[in-house]
Amino acid sequence: MKKSEQNRECKEEIKITRHARTEIPDIVDKLVSSCNKDGCFDHVSAEPIPNRAAVVDILQRAARILYPGYFINTRLDQTNLEYYLGQEVTAFFEVLSEQIILAIRHDCIRHNQPCVKCEELGQNITIEFLHGLPELRKLLAKDIRAAYDGDPAAKSYDEIIFSYPGVWAIMVYRIANRLQRSRVPLIPRIITEFAHGRTGIDIHPGAAIGESFFIDHGTGVVIGETASIGKRVRIYQGVTLGALSLSKKDCQLLRNKKRHPTIEDDVIIYANATILGGETVVGARSVIGGNVWLTNSVPPDTEVFIRKQDLIFGEKKFKKQAVKKSYR
């Protein structure tokens, strides 16, 4: 192609681009006019809201404190442990308190609530959370031991901490649950839904879960807001501890009521079992088999399984033909 022809084509492309770009201001005007109108959602306000990326960063920082030495790129020993934790905890305080303050202030302004001195309240909640970290470490250690004791494929505690999605999701839940109990808005749900997206395990921060909890494999597990789980409970992938489907009217009436089941101590729930309803109680030491659909309570020391299916074994209709190899 000659140079003159190339120049002509380039000029034509520039004209087309310029014409297309002239439509952008009208598009922007329409988007601006759609803000703050019924049916659309936006946050156009001088008051900032919590930053999702910062909240996710809080999880990474928390993991480095709760499991010192596991999620860092440098060596950690007794020589620098105090310095390391001092740096990590101080930075964690700054980031977490900032996001909590933003969450409280956002709720206060949006819902026109009386002043609660959000700056002071946010810092007090954060300090209270930090005071609870040693106890939280002990609780997580019991979850890790439960994973090791309940999974013969586990080779070490290190393997579990580094790689088990169920253990990571439980850690995130326990962080979010403590913030939820301190009445921190928004942040607990952001945290658990991030874990949901990463692991496929959906645990509402409002659920009550006892010590030594183990989720094996984990994908597809759902634990609802008002579910109550006792000590030493083990569940497998696809288990749902959910609520019965409700009409829009009933949903509003039960918004702050118990809607999810109670699982007592030492229960095992196998893959893809579904247990529904706020009045449903699975008694201690019971075993719920795979694929069971349960809306009634189960006494302690009970096994619940589906009746053995009739399996049909037949000869394959199309047998794989042997492939003849030819050699030259």
Q: Is the per-residue pLDDT at 320 higher than 60?
A: no
Q: Do domains 42-201 and 207-306 have the same CATH topology?
A: no
The pLDDT score that the predictor gives to residue 249 is 67
Enumerate residues 6+ apart whose C-beta is below 8 A from 213. Answer: 143, 146, 170, 229, 232, 233, 234
Kindly report, residue by residue over 251-298, the tens digit of the pLDDT.
Answer: 666 677 899 999 999 999 999 999 999 999 999 999 999 999 999 999
Spatial separation of the C-alpha atoms in residues 153 and 177, rounded to whole Å = 29
Q: Per-residue b/e over 35-52, b at no fewer than 16 CB within 10 Å?
A: eeeeeeeeeeeeeeebee
Q: Per-residue b/e over 73-83, b at no fewer than 16 CB within 10 Å?
A: eeeeeeeeeee
The pLDDT score that the predictor gives to residue 296 is 96
- Other Cβ atoms within 10 Å of 203 Cβ, number: 30
The pLDDT score that the predictor gives to residue 10 is 66
Kindly report, residue by residue over 2-49, the tens digit of the pLDDT.
Answer: 556 656 666 667 666 677 788 888 888 888 888 877 678 887 776 778
The pLDDT score that the predictor gives to residue 328 is 47
Q: Is the per-residue pLDDT at 104 higher than 60?
A: yes
Domain boundaries, the chain: 42-201, 207-306
Kindly report, residue by residue over 297-307, the tens digit of the pLDDT.
Answer: 999 999 999 98
207-306 CATH pick, 3.40.50.150, 2.160.10.10, 1.20.1630.10, 3.30.300.180: 2.160.10.10
The pLDDT score that the predictor gives to residue 20 is 77
Mean pLDDT of all residues in 118-146: 97
In the CATH scheme, what is the code of domain 42-201?
Answer: 1.10.3130.10
Kindly report, residue by residue over 147-179, the tens digit of the pLDDT.
Answer: 999 999 999 999 999 999 999 999 999 999 999
Spatial separation of the C-alpha atoms in residues 258 and 255, rounded to whole Å = 8
Do residues 157 and 164 touch, judged by C-beta distance below 8 A?
no
What's the 3-state SS for the chain? Answer: CCHHHHHHHHHHHHHHHHHHHCCHHHHHHHHHHHCCCCCCCCCCCCCCCCCHHHHHHHHHHHHHHHCCCCCCCCCCCCCCHHHHHHHHHHHHHHHHHHHHHHHHHHHHHHCCCCCCCHHHHHHHHHHHHHHCHHHHHHHHHHHHHHHHHHCCCCCCHHHHHHHCHHHHHHHHHHHHHHHHHCCCCCHHHHHHHHHHHHHCCEECCCCEECCCCEEECCCCCEECCCCEECCCCEEECCCEEECCCCCHHHHHHCCCCCCCCEECCCCEECCCCEEECCCCEECCCCEECCCCEECCCECCCCEECCCCCCCCCCCCCCCCCCCCCCCC
